[in-house]
Amino acid sequence: MQLKKGSANLPFFFLSFSPSPLALANLRNSFYDRDMDGFNLKVLVAWGFFSAFVIISVYIIVIKKLKRVVRGEEEREAPDFVLENIRHTLDQRKELFHELEIREKLNEIILNNLAIGVAVFDKFKILKSANPMFRKLFNLSDENINQSIVQFQKESPVLFQFIRKLKDTGNGKGQVDQDSVRGRIVKVHATPVSELLGGKGGYLVLAEDITDIEAAKSQLELKKRLEIIGEMSAGLAHEFRNALSTLKGYAQMIENASPTPTIAEYNGQILSEVEDINSVVNQFLLYAKPLQPNLQVVSAASLREDIIDSFPDMPDILEILITPEDLAFKTDRTLLKQCLTNLIRNSREHLSPTGMIHTHFEKSGENIRITVQDNGMGMDAETLEHALVPFFTTRTNGTGLGLSLCEKIVSRLGGSITVESAPDVGTTVVILL
């Protein structure tokens, strides 16, 4: 079959609406040119372009429809996805806030329980924060927060003077003396901390009560001085005792030579004084020399018997109780006995004719408590304050070494000793080992 050029109508356009056999025949006839005995080329080309247009149009319509469907699904899914992200972010922030709250509470607990005072002042010397210890040391209250140092100058003049002298650049250090803060010694240190206040300048102030530390230092220095004095005095006491021995020897020679009554009387007084002085020297040497405890298990009952034997003339005024009766503990028997006999002897010298001395051994937790109590004349506050000071005595013939020696012994045994007394009430000495 041959394709020929020519013109013809386009009844085939309606074919898509009625594809019957008749329509197909009409479509074939529309392509065929009888005059030229062949198919019309223009009609075929037109039909091809038209078909391509229809196919492309359908394709575009279908694609757009699909895009709208997909886009609709995405639009429906997008809010869920965003909400999930927001929910996750909020959960994370909630966890972070919770952790921050825990840390903040922990920091607050630590600050509130610190033994050191902590406070923050801004560059205008306004108190922004202070923990309980800082407020206690400087007599401040919650009302002083966000106040200038000028406003609480009356409550804490020493703090006012310290903060007032601080420079905006540099550190501040100082120590408040004992009379300034209710009898306490407070060490104060200030450091610039502008970053804590948004870069606006300020100070972190630390305050520490060092009263006990300073007291311990003073006691240590005193102890060292006393040890040096003790060593020197021990040497002198030995020489002094040698002289007393010589003096006593000559006095005994005079006594053996049958002197006159007057000389014999004077010689007897010399011997008596020599014995008294020798007793003082012996106590001093005992106090001055280093003690080396020999620890062993000691029965309280056997120690009681030894003490009673040391005071045969006091059966009616000396009472020694033990709780429990089989109480035993580790100590130096000789040193502890010497300490207790000194205490009992001291109590006896201050007793009235109807007085009593009560001694009690008892278990107190992990410790041993020994109490020596009398109802004698007692001591006033000033005497009690110096009771343990070496060579302090209110008696004419006293040495002032009895209680001091007891304190030294108890200290070497790893214990502590306290004395309580009141005039006309009596004295109680408690030893805790």
pLDDT, tens only, 114-142: 888 999 988 888 898 899 999 888 888 88
**Please, how many CA atoms are within 13 Å of residue 208, restricted to the half-sphere of its CB?**
10
Q: In what order do the strands lie in the sheet with 426-432?
A: 318-323, 357-364, 367-374, 426-432, 416-422
Residues 198, 254 within the same domain: no
Residues 49, 145 within the same domain: no
Across the range 19-25, mean pLDDT stands at 53
Q: Which of 93, 112, 131 is the last residue of a domain?
A: 112
Q: Which long-range contacts (CB under 8 A, 24 or more apart) does 219-227 make?
A: 226/390
Neighbours of 429 (CB within 10 A): 25
Reading the block at residue 305, the tokens are: 């018997």
d(CA 321, CA 58): 119
Neighbours of 239 (CB within 10 A): 9
Asked if residues 374 and 426 have their Cβ atoms less than 8 Å apart, the reply is: yes
Q: Does residue 78 carry a pLDDT above 60?
A: no
Q: Which of 88, 112, 136 is the last residue of a domain?
A: 112
Q: Does residue 368 carry a pLDDT above 90?
A: yes
Dihedral of alpha carbons 85, 91, 96, 101, sign:
positive
pLDDT of residue 4: 41
Provide the pairing of β-strand 426-432 with 32-33. Answer: unpaired
Across the range 391-403, mean pLDDT stands at 73
pLDDT of residue 81: 62
pLDDT of residue 237: 74
Residues 148, 234 within the same domain: no
d(CA 317, CA 185): 47
Max CA distance (Å), the chain? 197
Residues 309, 427 within the same domain: yes
Amino acid identity for residue 21 in this structure? P
Across the range 149-155, mean pLDDT stands at 81
For residue range 212-226, what is the model confidence (pLDDT) as tens digits? Answer: 888 888 878 877 776
Across the range 414-424, mean pLDDT stands at 90
Residues 107, 120 within the same domain: no
Residues 122, 91 within the same domain: no
Question: CB burial class (10 A; 0-12, 13-18, 19+) of residue 346?
Answer: buried
pLDDT band at 256 (very low <50, low <70, confident <90, very high): confident
Residues 319, 358 within the same domain: yes
Ranking 5-9, 289-293, 369-373 by mean pLDDT, the lowest is: 5-9
pLDDT of residue 188: 87
Ranking 76-80, 191-195, 216-220 by mean pLDDT, the lowest is: 76-80
Asked if residues 151 and 144 have their Cβ atoms less than 8 Å apart, the reply is: yes
Residues 313, 279 within the same domain: no
Q: Does residue 361 carry a pLDDT above 90?
A: yes
Query: Domain residues for 262?
Result: 216-288
Across the range 168-173, mean pLDDT stands at 53
Across the range 181-185, mean pLDDT stands at 69
Across the range 347-361, mean pLDDT stands at 88
Residues 121, 61 within the same domain: no
pLDDT of residue 357: 93
> Has this prediction a pTM greater than 0.75?
no
Q: Which of 288, 316, 343 is the last residue of a domain?
A: 288
Provide the pairing of β-strand 318-323 with 357-364. Answer: parallel
pLDDT of residue 71: 58
For residue range 273-330, what is the model confidence (pLDDT) as tens digits? Answer: 888 787 777 777 777 777 788 899 999 999 999 999 888 888 788 999 999 889 999 9
Residues 267, 393 within the same domain: no
Residues 182, 305 within the same domain: no
C-alpha separations of 219 from 121, 212, 432 in Å: 36, 10, 20
d(CA 185, CA 177): 5
Neighbours of 159 (CB within 10 A): 28
Count: domains in the chain: 4
Q: Does residue 21 carry a pLDDT above 70?
A: no
Task: List the CATH number of the domain containing 421.
Answer: 3.30.565.10
For residue 258, is it left (φ>0), alpha (ψ between -120 and 50) or beta?
left
pLDDT of residue 11: 45
Residues 103, 2 within the same domain: yes
C-alpha separations of 431 from 97, 255, 407, 428 in Å: 56, 46, 9, 10
Candidate ranges 195-204, 280-289, 391-400, 403-412; pick with highest mean pLDDT: 403-412
